[in-house]
Amino acid sequence: MAILPILTVPNPLLAQKSRPVRDDEFGPALEARMSDMAETMYAAPGVGLAGVQVGDLRRILVADLSDEDENGEKRRGEHLVMMCNPEIVDRSRSKITWEEGCLSVPELWEDVTRPDRVLVRFRTPDGATQEQ
């Protein structure tokens, strides 16, 4: 595994629209790329990283959805998800607001309001379809 360079603003790649992962791209090479992304995310440290942030213009992302322990520390790696071609298929009406940052805009932290829960349909690096 490798730690990848994270692009930061104003890198023009960050403004590009990512494309879907093609059927012929699923498999071990994609899984290795996304494992490198996860290692990069943890080293940054962060809780999510999209392909475009490491110069890969495919619709891929890694995120750690792990809860915090009783000391407020993230249980790193407990619930790592690797998503290809993610699509939100449902979202709650209830909202939550918390402070968020972005690894590609390291100096900026803002309160962001989002749905409390979302249901996402995606494919895993090996091509299996999942909803979470």
pLDDT in tens, 21-42: 999 999 999 999 999 999 999 9
In this predicted structure, what is the pLDDT of residue 65? 85
Helix intervals (H) in 21-122: 28-43
Q: Is pLDDT above 70 for 11?
A: yes
Model pTM score: 0.90
Quote the DSSP letter at residue 66. P
For the ranges 35-44, 73-82, 100-109, the lowest mean pLDDT is seen at: 73-82
Q: Tell me what the mean pLDDT of segment 89-109 comes to.
A: 96
Contact 77, 83 (CB under 8 A): no
And the tokens for 87? Answer: 């699509």
48 — pLDDT class (breaks 50, 70, 90): very high
Q: Tell me what the mean pLDDT of segment 77-99 comes to.
A: 94
Q: Compute the distance between CA of residue 49 and CA of residue 57 in angstroms, rounded to an integer.
A: 13
Q: Which residues face 113 on adjacent strands?
A: 97
Q: Which residues face 8 on adjacent strands?
A: none
